[in-house]
A and B are shown apart, each in its own frame.
Chain A
């Protein structure tokens, strides 16, 4: 039996886990399946999910992007500082942070793929740089936008069929990135980078250009997540939205993306985001406190990593 002839190869372990959890959650708690709660579950993971999608692409290429949390913060602060009150400023408040996220990705990509820096160290360095710059810019103060335009607010708050726009944005990104990764030359080359970067180079893959593009995608997606936060809250304490990179990385790993690169899929990261959202949601409904939720997430992640290692050792 060839792998190609089995549709099952498209079902990675995270999907049955998600199915079991959803069924279990529905049995355990009546309110879980209410439309409002489903919408809440879907919305809960969107911000982390968008960040995680970008990190998935970078990690499939075999590298880490730990600067994403700082990029989220940068984008949220910048979007509010641009005060999206009318049409023009709204467009600017969306596009400028995303463009700057792309620039951050470009610099990460150059450091890692051109200069050969270790990606963990390089992107943590970038994280400090961006956080420092943002905090200096706002003097560590709260930022707020007056009179945010309806368009800007609607990014995160408006609903279609009871589901927030941001969820559709996330789903659209999952579909787009899935197609890019599995059906384009770029996606194929990203997998090749993560599989064996020297083999890819010798086969004529434009390694530096491809690698930089993965970081730019990650930077722009993290910035988009930041813009959505700005749209949702309207005012924020910059120091309070640090650290998105770790929950995002958790989802990436839970979804089965290999920490050494070459294996993973954007849709699997999305499934992992929903697994975490369902667990958190049910535990909230059942009145478990935050420390217990954290504990359960820790157990799930550790078990997942152990499972994937075992699975790979076997094949």
Chain B
């Protein structure tokens, strides 16, 4: 728990049947702060992401937004608190075009109550061109689009609607070096705008470069929190693997 935090997770647990995926996780993100969440597959990262995005509720524990306890019954609840998520899977409906995906769940309507397709197309086009000026052919099913274009849609819709906390689940996993650099630039830009970012990534080097703090998750528990400035790749990797910090002489603390 931190004073002035955008979002606090306090004592979050999650059980699936007999499996304890999270065993009491505390985590907070402040405005303009990039917190990286790292850990092995199965450490509980994506369960935590889904709890914070409202996909499912925690078994116990509390989510606080601006210090006040909240309960999310659906992803739209999380969106109401300006928490947006870019999922690793992108969560796009492949049969719909870019504007439809962009505005999915918060469609613009004309005053007669019908879909305002023209306005949605214009706004989506503008938002997507901001990310990638070459991305203009947006009105076709997204299944026909490239990985980078699909990623752009997922990112654009997450940052378009007054986001305060942006959760990015492996945002660069499917991207080439050029696009990865673009995402890094974007993270810096959003951070400068005061947006809090929870970054989930496998790439320790990326994390060290982009994050302010690094939180290491192992077997459903936070095993360490590091300040990105004061640590290095070896230390982070070691913590991911062993779940402990090493002493200077190499002994486990």
Contacts and interface: CB of A to CB of B under 8 A. Distances in A.
* A associates with B: yes
Contacts of B100: 188, 191-192
B155 to A, nearest CB: 14
Say which size band chain A's interface belongs to: 20 to 34
Interface string B131-170: 0000001011001100000000000000000000000000
B71 interface: no
A303 to B, nearest CB: 24
Interface stretch (B15-23, B32-40, B88-96, B240-248): B88-96
A204 B139 contact: no
Interface in B43-91: 53, 55, 74-76, 79, 85, 87, 89-91
A102 to B, nearest CB: 22
Contact of B95 (A4, A183, A262): A262
Contact of B114 (A183, A189, A200): A183
Nearest to B79: A204
B140 A201 contact: no
Contact of B75 (A3, A191, A202): A202
Interface string B101-120: 10011110100011101000
B107 A188 contact: yes
Contacts of B117: 183
A204 B113 contact: no
A263 interface: yes
A2 interface: yes
Contacts of A179: 114
A196 B93 contact: yes
Interface string A169-192: 000000000010001110011011
Given A185-B109, A192-B93, A192-B96, A200 B104 contact: yes
B95 A204 contact: no
B75 A185 contact: no
A201 B91 CA distance: 9
Interface residues of B, number: 34
Nearest to A4: B139
Given A2-B139, A188-B115, A192-B104, A199 B92 contact: yes
A191 B105 CA distance: 12
A163 to B, nearest CB: 29
Contacts of B96: 188, 191-192, 195
A313 interface: no
Contact of B104 (A3, A4, A203, A262): A203
A192 B105 CA distance: 10
Interface in A89-120: none
Contacts of B90: 199
Given A194-B95, A262-B95, A2 B105 contact: no
B57 to A, nearest CB: 14
Contact of A196 (B91, B113, B115): B91
Contact of A203 (B89, B91, B113): B91
A273 interface: no
A315 B143 CA distance: 9
Contacts of A220: none
B154 to A, nearest CB: 10
Contact of A2 (B55, B76, B89, B140): B140
Contact of B93 (A2, A184, A191, A206): A191
A257 to B, nearest CB: 12
A204 B93 contact: no
